[in-house]
Structure 1
Amino acid sequence: MRRAGWLIAAVFALALPALALDPSEMLDDPVLEARARGLDHELRCVKCQAESIASSNADWARDARREVREMIAAGATDQEVRDAFLRNYGDFVLMNPPASGWNLIVWLAGPALLLAGLGVVIAAQRQRNAARGPEALDPEEEARLKELLGEDG
């Protein structure tokens, strides 16, 4: 019985994002609604910050979805809708902000730190190898080396 309760809770938790879009918000024209839904997935909810406005139940996201649909119904292109949100909220409102300006630092920080860490590991390994010095040959290896070099021992 307890498992059934957990299963029902999990199903409802997974279904919550699907409930974010209220049917009353939808446009009558399926082509325009498809464009609006695409934009809903591109725009970040500034209140939730980790969710798109498509999956957020926050009041701000609901208002943003309505605004997207109003602009599309008024004849705005997808880029005009994005530009309007960028003007009001900055690059943060995009789920995938452009790699330019200050955002470029964020985009490059991860790979730069990875390369720096790799450089530290390589330098430490070289330093350890240099401090250890060459290993001495055992008598068999030394005899074989002298034989190859043509030296008499």
Structure 2
Amino acid sequence: MILPSASPSTLTHHPSPSSSSSLPPPPPFDERELKRQRRKQSNRESARRSRLRKQAECDELAQRAEALKEENASLRSEVSRIRSDYDQQLLTENAALKERLGELPGNDDLRSGRSDQHAHNDTQQSGQTEAVQGGH
């Protein structure tokens, strides 16, 4: 009988009898060995549960971090919007106040009077300073 040729990748691997993974564990010889094997198995299962618990905590923290990032972005956007609205409100109010100030009767006289008074005060102060310095 002629067998079809098979490439190495299509062949299935059958473990040899000398392979340690295919052999069952040796039978326990005494009660101490049996207890040791049970303890080892219990420790493996405990470690596995611990790893699963740690992974679940990690996943939960990652989800919480993502939710907090989204909330932070949302709050920053809201703060920006509120600032923009407030800035616009202040500009509008400032313009209205300037307009009202310009409508006051005699406003130009008040402004020029203040400027003249400031200039007069400055002249008086410099004259007094010169007199004090000249007298000493």
Q: Same fold (TM over 0.5)?
A: no
More helix by share: 2
Output the TM-score relative to the length of structure 1: 0.29
Q: Which structure has the bigger radius of gyration?
A: 2
Output the TM-score relative to the length of structure 2: 0.32
**Larger relative contact order (CA 8 Å, sep ≥ 6):** 1
